[in-house]
Amino acid sequence: MESKLRRIGVLTSGGDAPGMNAAIRAVVRTCVLHDIIPVGIHRGYNGLIHSDVVELDARAVNGITSRGGTILYTARSEEFRTDEGVQRAAANCKYLGIDGVIAIGGDGTFRGARELSKYGINTIGIPGTIDNDIACSHYSIGFDTAANTAIDAIDKLADTMQSHQRTSVVEIMGRNAGHLAVYVGISVGATAIILPERPFDFEKDVVEHIREGQYRGKHHHLIIVAEGTNSTNEIAQRCRDELGLDTRVTIIGHVQRGGSPSARDRVMATRMGHRAVEELIAGNSNLIVCYRNSQITTVPIDEALTMTKDLDEYMYRVATEITI
């Protein structure tokens, strides 16, 4: 059935994530396939408020799949948090002839999409965040690349750590979630993994693991700490003061958001971008495209924003039983 849509807007909002460009490319190419004009919206919802948009075509997205970041730029809009800002964005959508908006980002981005939909704008969300904390989706664009970036950095750090027989406390991003930290911790064979979702006991979670490692003849120790615990420096200081260990802190930081996306992020982003356009063409709105039970599917935004996401219990058990 031929689509009645004329123009579809696409934006990226909040923190950037590797793979966002692949999603943008998929949106643009799918629009072109269906004779719909794709409109790039710059700097998230700020672009809608200030009509900072550009028409795109297939050529405009050539070669962007391998690039990190987002060609549309991203921002968090304080103005869009107001009723006046949302109304202005919705009015500009109508003035610009944008029949639907695809918003790539996290929970804040989806809340913004929900607000737009209240003013008659068709919206679809795509999860793009290295934190992998979108409750309705088992996977978010950028997670795999961020994990690989952190793993590569820690593997290099381990070389010097072993040479000096040091203890290293490494902080991993993830906002208030420990999904990235537990994934990285298992991958690098951490001595201990400290997560915001679980109570922290220095004696049980760090000292016992280090003592067990020492008993086995280990002279270097790696402690992975999720940023949401806000305890990285405290743990390092206690390792020095209470255990007498030569301890250094490494905060990998925003480098985890950059870099060329992994194959998994490129493919997942492409599938999600394609599905988002198909949903709008089918007349659907106020949905999040997500990855559940090995399938690309959708969940209503209202339902998705009430869901919570805990750690994978099996992953956590592996992390606690296999570390040391």
**Nearest to residue 176, comparing CAs of 141, 143, 236, 133?**
133
Answer yes or no: are the C-beta atoms of 276 and 289 closer than 8 Å. Answer: yes
205 carries an active-site annotation: no
Tokens of 38: 């794709």
Burial of 61 (0-12, 13-18, 19+ CB in 10 A): buried
Place of tokens 């690349």: 145
What sign results for the dihedral spanned by CA atoms 82, 84, 90, 93?
negative
CA dist list (Å): 37 to 31, 180, 236: 6, 37, 54
- The helix-helix angle for 263-281 and 143-164 (nearest 10°) equals 160
Measured CA to CA, the distance from residue 71 to residue 35 in angstroms comes to 22
Half-sphere exposure of 215 (CA within 13 A, CB side): 7
Measured CA to CA, the distance from residue 271 to residue 308 in angstroms comes to 24
What sign results for the dihedral spanned by CA atoms 89, 297, 311, 323?
negative
Length reported for the chain: 324
Measured CA to CA, the distance from residue 92 to residue 97 in angstroms comes to 8
CA dist list (Å): 152 to 33, 205, 265: 39, 25, 17
Q: Which of 16, 99, 107, 131 is an active site residue?
A: 131
- Catalytically annotated residues: 131
